[in-house]
Amino acid sequence: MEFIDPLLDKYVCEHTANESDLLKKINRETHLEVLQPRMLSGHFQGRVLSMFSKMIRPERILEIGTYTGYSAICLAEGLTPNGKLVTIDINEELASRVKGYFDESPYSQQIDYLIGDAMELIPALNEKWDIVFIDADKHNYINYYHLVFSMVKVGGYIIADNVLWSGKVIDPAQHDKDTLLLREYNQLVHQDDRVEEVLFPIRDGLMIARKINE
Ligand code: SAH
Ligand code: CA
């Protein structure tokens, strides 16, 4: 589903900063060589994530769902010089490709790439996060939110991708599990007094929650 007029979308992209050569390469190779390339954030959303990160200047970013590393590198662009990004993915088949991309990036020393189930790995991370980017299995979004909440700094952000789910969240005919849980996620964040939130209708929808209270 297109949320904005395709010609307007084209105009928006044409007037948004270009991707780096490395991000272009990841984008191209993911589309040619990896299953489900639509999962990659892509040019426009990548620039949005990079801009958010540069505005926040985070010291610690946690990403749940690395895929081919595109969004991780975009988010890493805003890290402070001694900042660190931890990114987790359960798919070990992509690991050597993704490690190669991170090594080619200027952030190889700042990115920790962990392979495994995020629900199992996150509790062992002894950090306080400025940004958590939730972009893995949709049916676990609520679990991730509760799991990371106490690890997010007051004033930090929990950003969740794909929360409009191609528009299915407003289609009463849709009852599949992911759609139900994404609706529930948006409602949970909206009703949680500990955060202030904005649902950005960017690409497939970004729910941005800023933690204002423990
Ligand atoms: N953030 C990437 C896209 C992520 S796609 C980008 O914007 O470019 C979603 C990823 O979540 C997939 O690579 C999938 O392997 C991973 N994933 C699914 N379930 C997971 C789990 N339980 N733990 C960690 N990663 C998971
Ligand atoms: Ca996504």
Q: Is 162 in the pocket of ligand 1 (CB under 6 A)?
A: no
Cβ proximity of 109 and 82 under 8 Å: no
| pLDDT at residue 64, rounded to an integer | 99
pLDDT, tens digit (0-9, with 9 covering 90-100), for 133-189: 999 999 999 999 999 999 999 999 999 999 999 999 999 999 999 999 999 999 999
Cβ proximity of 61 and 88 under 8 Å: no
Q: Is 118 in the pocket of ligand 1 (CB under 6 A)?
A: yes
Average confidence (pLDDT) over 125-133? 98
Give the number of the ligand closest to the Cα of residue 133: 1
Cβ proximity of 126 and 58 under 8 Å: no
Domains and CATH numbers, the chain: 6-211 (3.40.50.150)
pLDDT, tens digit (0-9, with 9 covering 90-100), for 25-54: 999 999 999 999 999 999 999 999 999 999
Tokens found for residue 202: 């960017």
Instruction: Looking at the CA of residue 89, tell me the nearest atom of ligand 1.
Output: 25
Q: Is 145 in the pocket of ligand 1 (CB under 6 A)?
A: no
Tokens found for residue 207: 């729910």
pLDDT at 1 over 90: no
pLDDT, tens digit (0-9, with 9 covering 90-100), for 177-186: 999 999 999 9
What pTM did the predictor assign? 0.98
Indicate the pairing of strand 152-161 with strand 111-115.
unpaired
What percentage of the chain carries pLDDT values higher than 90?
A: 98
Indicate the pairing of strand 152-161 with strand 129-134.
parallel
| pLDDT at residue 3, rounded to an integer | 84
Q: Is 122 in the pocket of ligand 1 (CB under 6 A)?
A: no
Which residues place a Cβ less than 5 A from the ion ligand 2? 135, 161-162
pLDDT at 116 over 80: yes
Probe residue for ligand 1, chosen from 66, 94, 140, 159 as the CB with the greatest number of ligand atoms within 8 Å: 66
Please name the residues in contact with 45: beta carbons below 8 A apart, sequence gap of 6 or more: 71, 161, 202, 203, 206
Query: d(Cα 181, Cα 77) in Å, to the nearest integer?
Result: 31
Give the number of the ligand closest to the Cα of residue 62: 1
Mean pLDDT score of the chain:
97
